[in-house]
Amino acid sequence: MDDLIKFSARQVFNLLRSGEITPYDLLNAALLRIKETNPYINSIPTLCIDRAENQINKMKSTTDTKKPNVPIGFLYGIPLVIKDLTNVKGVRTTMGSKIFADHIPKKSAEIVKTIEKNYGIILGKSNTPEFGAGGNTFNEVFGKTRNPWNTNLCAGGSSGGSAAALAAGQVWLATGSDLGGSLRQPASYCSIVGLRPTPGLVHNGPKTLPFDNLSVDGPLARKVEDIALFLDTLSKNNIFAPSTLSHNHTSFLNAIDNPKLPKRIAFSHNLGITPISKEIEQVFTNTIKKLSNMGIELQESDIDFSHAEKIFETLRAVNYVASFKSLPKSHVDILKPEIVWNINEGLSLTSAQIADAEIKRGQLVNKLISFFKSFDLFICPTVILPPYDVNKRYISEINGKKLDNYIQSLILASALSLTACPVISIPCGFTSNNLPVGLQIMSKWNSEASLLSAAHIIEQELNIFNKVPIDPRTN
């Protein structure tokens, strides 16, 4: 039983389904692991053990999990954590903000209801920056989340708590969200897998902005097949999602079990718009060589991302104005300075600037429609720099170039957010200091099944999917 923390989600899923272990076995293993490791990484600040036990007891009394007609997406009692931006009924949900430090929701978000309906066992809330703003997970309610690979470094953000929890073996699955890279950057920093799905596939309503297609929710796990397993649960329709996508497949896990090697992949080292560290560059170059040796045709991309930074910063600022408009001024005044800056940037925009950003985003998306007629996938690094000092608020400089704001360090991820295409980050290598590096893989819109299939094959070839620290490294 001590080894359960090292098993993948799919391995424990199969053990649960066969009756070889029980949900209580997993719950006890997770709680022991959290007790052993959380003081070092601060990934799960809030536990809800009674809720988890009640959910397990409910499953035992109402469901025969050995029947062959158990629906796709049924999780059989796997413990997991929910990012602390998402309401869980009766469980402290702070959004990393002093404004909501004592907030106890009366209702759960739809994504939580979906998970619990399918007997995923919610064990706690994972740490996040205030309102999910930033690439380093820290806040004034719970403090800093540290990277299990080196606890002097950050775990990324804003889903850093979820990513660190997975890398330390605390849970087998976790939720996250992604506006400009918040699922993918922590995945890269912690050597796990994070999927930003096509907007409309995974739902977390009700929301202030139900038609928002820049911010999405998605799964994190230690392997691609675990992402597929969890996505079968998360991709359920609900009434609070007017942009719901219809499924064009039977099961994402089925796509993993019947993988297809991609034929043509386009790549870019830096999207032509940002410096990246020499070590990120080297790991990515080595990855391209390995893919080429698999018999895949690789070609340097000519996609024009030159306007991506301005487009994203404009649309993100508009999003922040809309999201925080209802907060009273007394609350706005105590927000972290990066959020206040983003709101003010939005308030200063003209209608012409917003329109120009929308037009240029449309041009980028339309070009990608043609691009994916010739290529199966697009790949690039996930981040511009390896994990950095946990005490730094954000990356302010890269290769001697000063960055103007905290968003710019995430440009490799945020540029791809604009496309509305599904993007996954998988581990692809390590720096000379043994710090993880992630690879972004993007496919055409609403093609998660083929994306996961290809990512699974690439993951197996790179053969580092089983390398996570488990025991946090404190030196």
Q: Which residues of 71-104 are buried (b: 16+ CB within 10 A; e: fewer)?
A: ebbbbbbbbbbbbbbbbbbebbbbbbbbbbeeee
**Rounded Cα distance, 333 and 29, in Å:** 42
- Going by the DSSP 8-state scheme, the letter that residue 203 receives in this structure is -
Tens digit of each residue's pLDDT, the chain (475 residues):
669 999 999 999 999 999 999 999 999 999 999 999 999 999 999 999 999 999 999 987 776 655 556 788 999 999 999 999 999 999 999 999 999 999 999 999 999 999 999 999 999 999 999 999 999 999 999 999 999 999 999 999 999 999 999 999 999 999 999 999 999 999 999 999 999 999 999 987 788 888 899 999 999 999 999 999 999 999 977 677 777 776 666 899 999 999 999 999 999 999 999 999 999 999 999 999 999 999 999 999 999 999 999 999 999 999 999 999 888 888 888 899 999 999 999 999 999 999 999 999 999 999 999 999 999 999 999 999 999 999 999 999 999 999 999 999 999 999 999 999 999 999 999 999 999 999 999 999 999 999 999 999 999 999 998 889 989 999 7
Q: Which residues of 393-419 are buried (b: 16+ CB within 10 A; e: fewer)?
A: bbbeebeeeebeebbbbbbbbbbbbbb
Torsion of CA 178, 226, 466, 6, to 10 degrees: 110
Residue linked to tokens 């979906």: 114
Residue 313 main-chain phi, psi, to 5 deg: -60, -35
To which CATH superfamily is domain 2-462 assigned?
A: Amidase signature (AS) domain (3.90.1300.10)
pTM over 0.85: yes
Is 25 in contact with 12 (CB distance < 8 Å)? Answer: no
* Neighbouring C-beta atoms of residue 324, cutoff 10 Å: 18
β-strand 264-267 against 377-381: which pairing, if any? parallel
Tokens describing residue 325: 């408009």
**Rounded Cα distance, 108 and 13, in Å:** 25
Contacts of 204 (CB under 8 A, 6+ apart): 86, 109, 110, 111, 177, 217
